[in-house]
Structure 1
Amino acid sequence: MEKCISESLLVQYLVNELDEEVGDLVRDHLNQCSLCQTKAETLSDDIELKEWHECHQRQQGKDDLQTYPFSEDRLDRLFNSTVSSIQQSKPFSPQSPASHNQKNNSSINQSNSASFNRKLHQDTLRVIGSYHLIKKIGQGGMGVVYQAIHAHLKKQVVLKLLLNNDWENSNQSLRFYREMELVGQLDHPNIVKATDAGETDDTCFLVMEYLEGHDLKKILKTERSLSITAACSILRQAANGFQYIHNNNLIHRDIKPSNLFLTTEGKIKILDLGLAGLSHSETSFSDLTDSNCIMGSAYYMAPEQAMSVKTIDQRSDIYSLGCTFYQLLTGRLPFKRNTPVETIIAHREDIAPRLSDYLSDVPETLEELFQSMIQKDPNDRIQTMAEVVKKVDDFMEQEQDSLLHEASDTSLTHSQELIRLCQNTDLSPPVEALSQYSSTLFQPTHRFWNKKNILLLIMGIALLNAGLFYFIRFDQIPPPVSNIPKISPEEAQNQRAAALWALEHECELTLLLANGVKVQVNNTSEGLPKDDFQIITLKLYHNQPLDENALSLLKNIKSLNELRLDDCVLGDNALAPIKGLTSLTVLDIHHTKLTDKGLSHISELKNLKTLSIKLNPDLTDTGLQVLNQLPRLEDVDLARLNITDKGITFIQNNSNLTKLNISETNVSDASVPYLIALEELESLRIKKTAISEKGIEQIRNAFKDHDPVRLD
């Protein structure tokens, strides 16, 4: 099934009208085609939920279940996302969890082994060490997540790769290394387990256990809201896992439904420690972030977290978990306004909603717990996750009879199965809080909302109008200036047109507003400011062909400082429109099938400082002569190019070079004298070059205070 699936066929698939053979073909296609996946999700919203709602309305008027157009089997097909997950949770095994456990015999093992072998040979997207990447299942700010199989163990895993375009970003790679270390050290039933980590072909990877089930965001999309039983079970498990994290001097900082995963066994697993930070008592934390960072999700962010990530503590996570708990019970966000700025202000200023506003019979104990988790001032909040666990345990014990009655009252929806799942889950023992977090009777040293902090917050939240999910860094951009030259209406129109094109092609943009504030927008035009702006950086993440026409809108974007087109396919004239962008200082065009002719268009980029053209085998010594016309280069990556010493003659005219990567090239000892002359050189990667041991020793001896040579 090479062509995309028709809408009518998708509809038949979604309502289970196809025979098994055709259904399998459609399912296989959906696992590989992102366009059809998106179409299926849209149709699912429009068809499945509306039809179910109509059925539910009819049931309320009649007791006869025959009024349903769906049988119970078909209802299970429509609402199996939490437990069974036909498309995602069990793509390789033909057995359900129950039947697999009941029939653990040699014939099934042989069948599973054959299935794995077939996947290894037919569906492998890429091989990383012993891991065959089978399916891309997600992408975040730092990495791409794949479903994978260990070739020898025949075991499913989840493998996270650091994004190629972020490899040269030292802070990103340091954070990724830290996530490897953190996940590897943490061992708790409610935290996803790491099984392996490493680096191969300049690519960092982290291997984690494969989980069957869905994250809470997907579950809420189907269920809308959860029962008290399910929500309390989830809250209890998550809080216990977070207390373990806090005991290890870590703050998660990005708690939200998509980072909490419910397995088919009813276990909650905490995901994504990529933004986790050491508590402010740990001085090493400052190496990877600073007070000019804002991390998290606006819908769930504690007021103090918008001020600074360096001064927050475990109570910010408690606030975010409280917001998540509210959404689980009501299906609503506690603070949702028209813009991210208004949302953050609402967290700070507006009165928190009550569960009873939408749940008339919610027990007062739960209302009190929720309110204690989302107090504006962290000193007024419940102080530890351990206390949240205790309060939930006490509530579940006291209300056991009513919660059992809740399960019996639930109708045919998937919620009944979810309630039973959560009721039968084995809960891990409560984690005690360490002594420094053990008391709720914190003595406030000062009120948080003084005038100075309020002013700082107002300045900080102005950065959030690019979108509701963000990670903003200021240290990569010059400090805001007070007087930004006003742009003409024509230039403003050009900037907006280029931004819209970029976002349609799944780009990430950094924009400069008239007041000097810089904001990020990712993948969607909804985050574009209404006021005029200038594009500062443009990063195109996904592999796609680009020619001169595609990039023509960049021709007049004189404000562009950073352009990343790595992994795209660049035609010979694709870069022609950027000839006049003299403000460009960073250009990443590695792995783009670039030719000598294509590279020639960068000759006028006189202010270029960072250039990556690695992994372009068609580039030659002749093509690289254009680098002689770029006198301000500081960081150049030429790894795995078919070049010799003639290809790096530009280093003779670039005394400012601090980083140079010529790994896996034919550069030899003839270039050693010129490499030694680079007095500012901090890093020289020369793995698998023609430079001899003697040449390497000469380079090392020339730099008395440090060793720039990197052989990894």
Structure 2
Amino acid sequence: MDKCLSDNLLLQYLLNDLDTDTCEIVRVHLNECPSCQKRTEIYSEDSELKQWQQCHLRRQNGDDSQYHPFSQDKLDRLFNSTISSIQQSKTAVAKKTLPSSHNSNILLRKEPEQTPIRVIGQYQLIKKIGQGGMGVVYESIHSRLKKQVVLKLLLNKDWENTDQTQRFYREMELIGQLDHPNIVKATDAGEADDTCFLVMEYLDGHDLKTILKQEGPLSITAACSILRQAANGLQYIHNHDLIHRDIKPSNLFLTTDGQVKILDLGLAGLRHEGSSLDDLTDTNCIMGSAYYMAPEQAQSIKTIDQRSDIYSLGCTFYQLLTGKVPFRRETPVETIIAHREDSIPHLVDQLPEIPVQLEELFQSMVKKSPDDRIQTMAEVVRILDEFLNQKNELLLNESSDTYLTESQELKELCLKTVLTPPVEAQKYYSSTHYQPSKRILKYKKTIIIASIILMTGILTLGIQYISRTNHFTNTKLKSTSTIPNVRQPKKANSKSNPTPALTSTQATIERDAANWALDHGCEIKIVVPYGEEYPTIEQKKSLPNEDFYVKTIAFKKIQMITQEKLSRLSGLTNLYELQLNDNPIEDDALAAISGLTSLQILDLHASGITDKGLSHISNLKSLTNLSLQINPNITDEGLQVINQLQNLVSLNLAKTNISDEGLIFIQNNQKIDWLNIEGTKVSDESVKHLKKLILLEHLFVKGSKISKAGIKEINDFFKKRKHLPFYINPTP
């Protein structure tokens, strides 16, 4: 046989997916063809093919519950690079011809495998892989280095088009100047055969548009990892006084090692004027994609800045999570108008389990006015890092029962990806939502104080105040429930009233506590009287000279939590949130904070807290959010204290040692709207107790003893309410 086996036929043979006669013919060929033997032996230990074989066998055995088809990307790589060992037959078998039912043109291939379709300079163009408005993209080989690259060739018809040619040269120059792991790297550029070309690194993987088409909406974990990488690369671009102007899924490429690469800088524009590389378009020209274009970009590309890229990336984030663009109308013009005039959609309407901090991030990225948006990609990266760095078991194992799943391969890929260090923003812009200037803060304080004295306009100012500070109050929720892949519960606003002035004694207590906390590996947040909260503080030198209240303390350095340590916080009259999670805690430690009547959020997950230790929180009557997740020493007896906390709206009991008897103690907590009992011994016996939580909106029972019938009964009961939504995981 003078022809080698195709990868398709070889893979079918390895998967035992051929009829008997064809299988024997392939076996004979393998015994006699060194080339095919070598192809198979090189990849003899591939794990991906073994996974596929297991899935294939499960499917043959009728076990559809464990059968998960692979994406086309996975199949492509199986064909090209994942061949396991072949058990060669020891018995000589006579040669046979292939059955006529098989097309030899498909199953067999000639060697050499491919020949160049064109030669440009030192590059052999092997295969066309894409085409855009300015050029054609080819998979290519450097003729001397034998290195695989991607070559972008300006369309011949555009060679005489001065604008197109100059724009192509701009892309060559821009990419050549940029060097960042999240931006496609240029390796060469030049002119040949009356055209110009750009050579870039070869990327193995797919763009996000293709992935969305194949996989559908991505998981929260994967989407955040992708968004974070794209934002970091864009911040690097913005630091070089460039704006991409065409961010969309097809211009973001996900490699097989989980790295995001930003593509297509052909539309990139300079942020400052007077450069030789200034825009090649007139003021009225619209550049970009209507589905992702910021309102101001549709009006004039001459006046936009990096915040337009932030808007486009926000639209992309929405599509990664939902599979839909935020604004889709019948025509591009109608879509552009919708971006400008229609209300911003909410992620929670599509994904009830979306965390509040991610909803807030999306909303802040797609505000109509650039001044109202989050101002830099660096801030986007910071928020996502806070989210992704949460060491939460449920984040790393997002439920496969929901419609938010993509292939396990993609999820694991994103989780294992090493993220590049954050790029700091070199330029900042004032923002009414995230970065108020000191001058504005001072002015706003004056207005608030005057309004209190005069008792006029207080409602308007209060709404303004809350809207500008809700980022602080809501991002704290992530540490409360410690379940990032679900929407957080509603809770009281810690800033519904201006914080009053401090006495000199109280000011000393607050500052001493802040200094002690910072000396002991804590992060804190503070608020000044009648003013704004400060960003997270990690060092004493960041404390202001003016008086302040301590609002949040998070023990980030792992340490034993004792009564003596917490006693240093006992005098804080406005402490709103305390994070003790992941730190071992002594039984008597919480007795020191039993007088913190202002405390609303307490995070004790994975702290080793016991029933005895928990009993000390009975006096925390203002508590709204309590997380006890991953504390196996919490039993039914420990839940007796919950009945005394009648303001609770969020309770996390996942992976505690509770059963149906414990649920009796919380059935009268009528304000609870968010409850997690995953991984507990709670069974169908507790269905009647759960029904008494009349405000319940989110319930998580995966891994508990509640049956499918019980889940359905709960779901049907709460779905009958007309005034409140209800979400249960897993869904019935």
- Highest CA radius of gyration, 1 or 2? 2
For the superposition of Structure 1 and Structure 2, which TM-score range results when normalised by the shorter chain? 0.3 to 0.5
TM-score (norm 1): 0.48
TM-score (norm 2): 0.47
